[in-house]
Chain A
Amino acid sequence: MNRFRLSERGAQRLSISILLAPALAVIVLLFLGGLASGFLRSLNYFPLIGLNDFNFEAYFTIFTDNGFLQSLVLTFHIAFTSTLIASILAVASALLLRPAFRGKRIVHFFFSLNLTIPHLVGAIGVLYLFQNSGLVSRIMTGLDIIQRPADFPAMVFDPWAIGIIIQYVWKEIPFIGVIVLAILLSVGEDYESVARSLGANRWQAFRQVTLPLIMPGVVSASVIVFAFTFGAFEIPYLLGRTFPAALPVLAYQSYTDVDLAARPQAMAMAMVIAFISTLLIMAYMKLSRVYIRE
């Protein structure tokens, strides 16, 4: 009996390995392989062209370069501001969409529509809305608020990355909102009703009862959004300034620079992005464990 169980356990371990092997092989080869190859290249190690020594020159160069540091600050500003605004508006939207009302299904459908619309399309839409001669500017001209395109405040290719942030907020409200809404609907309104009947006003009931319930979902969704907005390329590439550019755009510019000496620096920037997102993964794992435990 005992021997049978042992061999069964061995067989199970084998079958788990077989189930996991193809997926892990792909991820290790492509993902870890890509990171490792980038890391070696960032250390100036490139045997193919005779560079056999390691050094930290690329890191030293970028971290003493004013342009890189400005990009880093700009990227943090974009990611932090977008995530914060999107989270707050997503919670507000979820509260708005929670109760039963007529047409709820169709409203929910439109709310989740953005989930599948690619970021690139959203970015082009934001460009055509908010550029100097865009639709919003035309409407404001029609309303006699401004006289010519130049009067319209710069919202794309601007120093504050307003257009980029609008695009992220537009795209991520439904992403965080759908997650929060699911929590709200599964929890129900009973706890709040109890709090209200015990004398809490609406704000207190929200602050003390609802918010703690949805917070784990909000925070773990926000981590994903922050990581995305920190490392996304095409949105700042389309809507942002070329200097200072968001970090992923700067890395791409260095990578495709005619001067091959800039490549290790591009790789070093890629490693900085990977490092920051690794920190975020650890945060996410920790948060999702807390979330599961509840």
Chain B
Amino acid sequence: MTTAPAPLPGIAPRTIGRTTVRWVGIMGLLTFLVAPMVPLFIWSISFRWFYPDILPSEYSMRAWEQVISPTNNVIGATGQTTLIALLCTVLSVLFGVPAGRALGLHNFKGKRIVEVLILAPIIVPGLAVVLGIDTMFIRYGLSGNILGVTLVHLVPTLPYMTLVMSGVYANYDVDYELQARSLGAGRWATQRYVTLPAVFPGVVVGALFTFLISWSQYVLTLLIGDGQVETLPILLFNFARSEPAIAGALSVVFILPGILVLLLSSKYLSGDSAAVGGIGNI
């Protein structure tokens, strides 16, 4: 399936035309990238889909009815996932924006160590940390509840938000603040009317992706939630092997926020922005 042809050597005969070759390549690439979504979507509206049928012999909205029905707790899980992701985003913005400001605007002793500390949780896999955190959390009663799960989601999200904001502040000219101050604006007014409008798009994009990182966490929730906290990814995993139709419908629900975020933020999302750097975590 991995057939995105490399256009490198450029030995395409002139008769075929470079544009044709390019479009074949692009179509191959997009087909590969969209392919895994296809069976998920078909499963979600299928009723009977037995081997070797390429398409289901009967369609139905049964899976979607199951998703809405209270028996499977999908709505509850969606609410819980959203709540955790929102709490986590608020905390990440609250702590990450100031830290990003310090890193983006100032040089100070020990900055290198702080940078390593911020980068480390992004690169060190969650599983390597969460087993130890679980031992701590069990002792302090943070295992098996929303508070504990929210806190453990901060491990990937807070560093990410900090990194994004450090990039935003690095491109921000602090002289505007000095000018506002010298013109008589107070500390608060300067932050409200000068700083905030300048960094706001960065905060929004960072917050949206922070939400998504928390929204997609599986293993952190699995271990710290301890079977008590049921989020969408936990449900999705449970249905993946046994109920492909429901798993398909759940997948569609699960990817919607991400597509929305991408539509909202694609303007800001070029590869040189720090926002892309943390997406490995989703």
Using a CB–CB cutoff of 8 Å, the interface residues on chain A facing chain B are 12-13, 16, 18-20, 22-24, 26-28, 30-39, 41, 48, 85, 88-89, 92-93, 95-97, 99, 101, 107, 109-122, 124-129, 133-139, 141-142, 149, 166-167, 169-170, 172-175, 178-183, 185-186, 201-203, 206, 217, 223-225, 227-228, 230-234, 238, 248, 251-252, 255, 266-267, 270-271, 273-274, 277-278, 280-281, 284-285
Q: How large is the interface on B (under 10, 10 to 19, 20 to 34, 35 or more residues)?
A: 35 or more
Chain B residues, CB < 8 A from A166: 1-2
Tell whether, in the assembled complex, residue A129 and residue B121 are in contact, meaning their CB atoms are under 8 Å apart: no
Tell whether, in the assembled complex, residue B33 and residue A96 are in contact, meaning their CB atoms are under 8 Å apart: no
* B194 adjacent to chain A (CB < 8 Å): no
Tell whether, in the assembled complex, residue B8 and residue A231 are in contact, meaning their CB atoms are under 8 Å apart: no
User: Roughly how many angstroms separate A201 CA and B42 CA in the complex, as a whole number?
Assistant: 46
User: Roughly how many angstroms separate A179 CA and B279 CA in the complex, as a whole number?
Assistant: 12
Interface string of B12-41 (1 = CB under 8 A from A): 000000010010011001101111111110
Tell whether, in the assembled complex, residue B132 and residue A35 are in contact, meaning their CB atoms are under 8 Å apart: yes
User: Roughly how many angstroms separate A218 CA and B127 CA in the complex, as a whole number?
Assistant: 26
Chain B residues, CB < 8 A from A234: 218-219, 233, 237
Tell whether, in the assembled complex, residue A125 and residue B128 are in contact, meaning their CB atoms are under 8 Å apart: no
* B176 adjacent to chain A (CB < 8 Å): no
* B67 adjacent to chain A (CB < 8 Å): no
User: Roughly how many angstroms separate A23 CA and B165 CA in the complex, as a whole number?
Assistant: 12
Tell whether, in the assembled complex, residue A95 and residue B7 are in contact, meaning their CB atoms are under 8 Å apart: yes
Give the shortest distance, in Å, between A89 (CB) and chain B (any CB).
Answer: 5
Tell whether, in the assembled complex, residue A270 and residue B128 are in contact, meaning their CB atoms are under 8 Å apart: yes
Of B58-66, B147-155, B177-185, B198-206, the one contacting chain A is: B147-155
Chain B residues, CB < 8 A from A170: 32-33, 35-36
Kindly identify which residue among B128, B154, B247, B266 contacts A277, using a CB–CB cutoff of 8 Å.
B128
Give the shortest distance, in Å, between A46 (CB) and chain B (any CB).
Answer: 8
Tell whether, in the assembled complex, residue B255 and residue A23 are in contact, meaning their CB atoms are under 8 Å apart: no
* B189 adjacent to chain A (CB < 8 Å): no
Tell whether, in the assembled complex, residue A33 and residue B131 are in contact, meaning their CB atoms are under 8 Å apart: no
Tell whether, in the assembled complex, residue A35 and residue B129 are in contact, meaning their CB atoms are under 8 Å apart: yes
Beyond known contacts A22-B95, A118-B254: 5 more, CB 8 A cutoff: A107-B26, A122-B36, A125-B37, A231-B128, A248-B128
Tell whether, in the assembled complex, residue B218 and residue A233 are in contact, meaning their CB atoms are under 8 Å apart: yes
Q: Which residue of A lies closest to B107 (CB)?
A: A16
Tell whether, in the assembled complex, residue A121 and residue B127 are in contact, meaning their CB atoms are under 8 Å apart: no
Task: Tell me the residues in window 240-254 of chain B with beta carbons closer than 8 Å to chain A beta carbons.
Answer: 240, 244, 247-248, 251, 254
Pick 23 A–B contacts, CB within 8 A, sort by A: A13-B108, A20-B98, A22-B95, A88-B6, A109-B262, A111-B30, A114-B33, A115-B269, A115-B279, A116-B262, A125-B38, A126-B36, A127-B240, A138-B53, A138-B54, A170-B33, A170-B36, A173-B4, A173-B33, A179-B276, A180-B271, A227-B123, A233-B127
User: Roughly how many angstroms separate A28 CA and B114 CA in the complex, as a whole number?
Assistant: 10
Tell whether, in the assembled complex, residue B131 and residue A255 are in contact, meaning their CB atoms are under 8 Å apart: yes
Q: Which residue of A lies closest to B263 (CB)?
A: A109
Q: A233-B126, A273-B127 are in contact. Are A116 and B29 (CB under 8 A)?
A: no
Q: A35-B129, A202-B9, A231-B124 are in contact. Are A30 and B154 (CB under 8 A)?
A: yes
Tell whether, in the assembled complex, residue A24 and residue B99 are in contact, meaning their CB atoms are under 8 Å apart: yes
Tell whether, in the assembled complex, residue B259 and residue A128 are in contact, meaning their CB atoms are under 8 Å apart: no
User: Roughly how many angstroms separate A208 CA and B128 CA in the complex, as a whole number?
Assistant: 40
Give the shortest distance, in Å, between B229 (CB) and chain A (any CB).
Answer: 16
Tell whether, in the assembled complex, residue B127 and residue A252 are in contact, meaning their CB atoms are under 8 Å apart: yes
Tell whether, in the assembled complex, residue A142 and residue B282 are in contact, meaning their CB atoms are under 8 Å apart: no
Kindly identify which residue among B35, B158, B248, B280 contacts A26, using a CB–CB cutoff of 8 Å.
B158
Q: A35-B129, A125-B37, A238-B240 are in contact. Are A30 and B108 (CB under 8 A)?
A: no
Tell whether, in the assembled complex, residue B219 and residue A233 are in contact, meaning their CB atoms are under 8 Å apart: yes
Tell whether, in the assembled complex, residue A278 and residue B258 are in contact, meaning their CB atoms are under 8 Å apart: no
Q: A134-B39, A284-B119 are in contact. Are A20 and B99 (CB under 8 A)?
A: yes
Give the shortest distance, in Å, between B112 (CB) and chain A (any CB).
Answer: 8
* B270 adjacent to chain A (CB < 8 Å): yes
Give the shortest distance, in Å, between B126 (CB) and chain A (any CB).
Answer: 7
Chain A residues, CB < 8 A from B277: 224
Tell whether, in the assembled complex, residue B116 and residue A285 are in contact, meaning their CB atoms are under 8 Å apart: yes
Give the shortest distance, in Å, between B70 (CB) and chain A (any CB).
Answer: 24
Give the shortest distance, in Å, between A208 (CB) and chain B (any CB).
Answer: 13
Q: A39-B132, A125-B35, A133-B51 are in contact. Are A115 and B127 (CB under 8 A)?
A: no
Tell whether, in the assembled complex, residue A116 and residue B114 are in contact, meaning their CB atoms are under 8 Å apart: no
